[in-house]
Structures are given as C-alpha cells and as structure tokens.
Amino acid sequence: MVFNKILKDFPIVSKVNYLSTASIGLVPTPVIEAVKEFSVELARQGTLFLDEEKESMVYDGLRREGAKLLGCNEEDIAIFNSVTEALNCIAWSLELKEGKIISTDVEFPTVTYPWLRIARKENVEVKLVNAKNWYVPLEDLLNEINENTKVVVLSHVEYLTGQKHNLKEIAKCAHDVNAIVIVDGVQAAGYLPLNVKELGVDVYITGSYKWLVAPFGTAIAYISKKLYSELEPTFVGWRSKENMWDLNPRELSYASTARKFEYSTSAYSVKIGLVESIKYLREIGIENIYNHNMKLIQTAMEELSSIEHVNLVTPANRDERGSIVTFEVDKEDPKRIVEKLRKLKRPVELTIRQNMIRISPHIYNTEEDISHFTDNLRKILS
C-alpha cells in the first residue's frame, strides 16, 4: 500500500501523531534534499550554478507543475511568495471604485482584509455572509449576489470548519451578473482533485506549506485568460516583462500571460521544493490522496460524534467537507485537552482555532492515528 511505503519520508510520524497539516504540512525527505542541494549550490557557486537561463527555468518549471495540479494551462499560472501576497496583488489590480464584495464571516483574515482595506479608500461595500452555527448555507451566499456585485471571494475549504463550498454554483451565479470569483484554495489543493476550468472560477490561489507539503515561501495562482488580459498589475518589476532580460529601464510592458503578475526574484530554492512536492503528490495520485484522507475524516467524524461533550462543527455531508475536522468541547478548556494529548507517550499534535480543536490528517496519517487520538480524547473527557 503506497501510504505505508511513504511513511519513511516523514520520520517524525514514527514518534508523533501529527494531525496539524491545516497549519503546517510535513515536507517529505526527498523534497527537503532537493531544496537543500539547490540552496547550497546556489550559495556556494552564484552565477556558476544559476545562469540566466536557469533563473528563468525555475519559475517555468513551477508554472508547468502548477498547471497540472490545478487543471489549467501554464500560461494561466502566476507565481507568488504567499497566498496573502497573491490575493493582495490581484485585489488591487482590479482597481475597484464601487460595488459589492461578497465573502463569509468564517474566512481566514487574509481572504477578507484586502477588500476591507480597499473599502477604506473606495466606494466599495464588503458583505460577509454570516455562518449559522459555523456553516455557510449556499443559498445565503447566492442570495447576496446581485447586479451590484463585483467579486465573490472565499476559501474552497474553510480553514476553521473544513466546510467545502460549491464553487461551480457560486461561479455560475456570479458570472450571470458579471462578477468574478476569487478562491483561496490553500486548504484544498494537495488532496482535492482540482480542475479550475470545470469549477469555472476566475482566480484560484494556493500555497506551498500546508497540503502541498513544501517549504514556506511559495504560492501559485490560476488567473483566467480573460481576467489577466484585462488587468494591469499593481506591483511591477524586472520580471513583469515578456523578456525579463532586456533590462530596459525606459520601457514598461508586460508579459502576455498571467506571468505579468510576477515581478521580482525570490527564494528560488523553495520554488524548486514546490515543484518536487507537486511531483511527489501526483505520483501518489491526488485521487488516491483524496480517498485516503476522506476515509480518515469519516472515521474521525464517526468516533468523535460518539464521545460525550464533543460538538462537531464540520459538515456531516462528505461532499461538503475537506480534510479538516473541528469540534467544540462542552465545559472544557480546549487548551487543557491539547496539553494532555501532547503529553502522551506518542504525543498528538493538533491545533486550537477560535477555542475549538481542529485535526487535519494527510498522506502520512493512518487509521491507527485517528483511533489513537479519539481513544485518548475519550479517556480525557470521561
């Protein structure tokens, strides 16, 4: 079984029950080695190692792998250093002067802040649809979309609750009124099979250091051809151009593809790391990873729902959730529970968010990890 074979690439999991990928994913040893080798050679040899052609190729390689991951053309991919950077760059390039932006009130702040910032300057209203008991009904989102709407921006899978949104329906409804849909897919890409063209969204951004099991410092964004052709980037630099090596300071023009949003050098070794990680995950097969993770989530949901004092906030419907399970615990301080789980002989590593406990299993977790966690939680709460 492929998932048993890869465990050797994540040595920490033999000692720790690591259930915290929604915070930081573990990087497989072959990827760590590739990043190390690239950074060491670059530091030791400078241009002897990284000539002009190679410098261009680092990003080309990542655009190629990113396109395979997201189901689009290489030309539609732009590379950034973080999801937050990508969202801000795209948000400001829209040059909105008026209209309504729709999101939800359970988003990670990075998703809503750029628009709240724009609203301080322009005649833009940011409407955050209220979750009901942490769940955002699709109808509530669709009901907000009207002729005044310019952008719908939300996560594919919510970082807090694991709720997965129906992007196809949202995109259809938004496009009917000429609004665009911008998606933060950082809690989805890496285990969810993706085809951004089928989803019909205009922008899909994801980052390296969670489910894509790569180091910090990289994000990729799908930007539809229609959209990138219309937009002028807000931030520009030597890499914004079609031929970045012309180095002509008098003439500002842009690459003819989504690459126009890239503008500077960056930590190239982590770009190499993301290329290797995407290859690693695709070799296992994203569909296989999805089935593996969803099976673990199903077991966790079943076990947790049978423990007294545990209130699940993750949707019960398999099609409406990702690889995250979150729950509240009645009358108990979640910090105390997490401390106890961390003190076990095989410690459980998980996350507290908004006073709730979140687990987020990935390729290096097993059914035994889930039962080890739920059995110990049951004991603590009994």
Considering only 77-85, 164-172, 257-265, 314-322, which stretch makes contact with ligand PLP by CB under 6 A?
A: 77-85
190 touches ligand PLP (CB under 6 A):
no
Is 33 buried (19+), middle (13-18) or exposed (0-12) by CB count in 10 A? exposed
Q: Across-strand partners of 356?
A: 353
108 touches ligand PLP (CB under 6 A):
yes
Please state, in angstroms and rounded to a whole number, the distance separating the CA atoms of residues 220 and 59. 10
Q: Whole-number minimum distance, CB 182 to ligand PLP, in Å?
A: 12
What 3-state DSSP class applies to 73? coil
Q: Are 310 and 327 in contact (CB under 8 A)?
A: yes
Block residue for tokens 């990075």: 110
Please state, in angstroms and rounded to a whole number, the distance separating the CA atoms of residues 31 and 340. 33
- Please identify which residue in 17, 20, 21, 84 interacts with ligand PLP, judged by CB under 6 A: 84
Q: Whole-number minimum distance, CB 324 to ligand PLP, in Å?
A: 10
CB nearer ligand PLP, residue 84 or residue 374: 84
CB nearer ligand PLP, residue 159 or residue 191: 159
Give the residue from 179, 131, 123, 120 showing the smallest Cα distance to 155. 131
Nearest residue to the partner ligand PLP, using Cβ: 84
- The amino acid at residue 84 is T
Q: Whole-number minimum distance, CB 379 to ligand PLP, in Å?
A: 30
Q: Whole-number minimum distance, CB 63 to ligand PLP, in Å?
A: 18
262 touches ligand PLP (CB under 6 A):
no
219 touches ligand PLP (CB under 6 A):
yes
- Please identify which residue in 207, 233, 315, 361 interacts with ligand PLP, judged by CB under 6 A: 207
- Please identify which residue in 88, 155, 224, 266 interacts with ligand PLP, judged by CB under 6 A: 155
CB nearer ligand PLP, residue 244 or residue 268: 268
Phi and psi torsions of 246, nearest 5°: -75, -25
CB nearer ligand PLP, residue 184 or residue 202: 184
Q: In the chain, which ranges are continuous DSSP H helix?
A: 2-5, 29-45, 52-70, 83-93, 109-121, 138-144, 167-176, 196-199, 225-230, 268-284, 286-305, 334-342, 367-381
- The amino acid at residue 91 is A
Ramachandran class of 71: left when φ > 0, alpha when ψ lies in -120 to 50, beta otherwise: left
82 touches ligand PLP (CB under 6 A):
yes
- Please identify which residue in 76, 144, 184, 202 interacts with ligand PLP, judged by CB under 6 A: 184
Q: Helices 83-93 and 109-121: crossing angle, nearest 10°?
A: 30
- Please identify which residue in 115, 134, 159, 268 interacts with ligand PLP, judged by CB under 6 A: 159
Q: Whole-number minimum distance, CB 186 to ligand PLP, in Å?
A: 5
CB nearer ligand PLP, residue 209 or residue 377: 209
326 touches ligand PLP (CB under 6 A):
no
- Please identify which residue in 17, 110, 224, 277 interacts with ligand PLP, judged by CB under 6 A: 110
Handedness of CA 296, 70, 171, 106 (dihedral sign): positive
CB nearer ligand PLP, residue 77 or residue 83: 83
Q: Whole-number minimum distance, CB 165 to ligand PLP, in Å?
A: 12
Q: Whole-number minimum distance, CB 18 to ligand PLP, in Å?
A: 16
Is 94 buried (19+), middle (13-18) or exposed (0-12) by CB count in 10 A? buried
CB nearer ligand PLP, residue 205 or residue 377: 205
CB nearer ligand PLP, residue 92 or residue 108: 108
Give the residue from 271, 235, 252, 277 showing the smallest Cα distance to 54. 271
Is 17 buried (19+), middle (13-18) or exposed (0-12) by CB count in 10 A? buried
Please state, in angstroms and rounded to a whole number, the distance separating the CA atoms of residues 357 and 338. 8
Q: How many CA atoms lie within 13 A of 175 on its CB side?
A: 13
Number of residues that bind ligand PLP (CB under 6 A): 12
Q: Whole-number minimum distance, CB 35 to ligand PLP, in Å?
A: 17
- Please identify which residue in 78, 83, 180, 213 interacts with ligand PLP, judged by CB under 6 A: 83
Q: Where do contacts with ligand PLP occur on this chain (CB under 6 A)?
A: 82-84, 108, 110, 155, 159, 184, 186-187, 207, 219
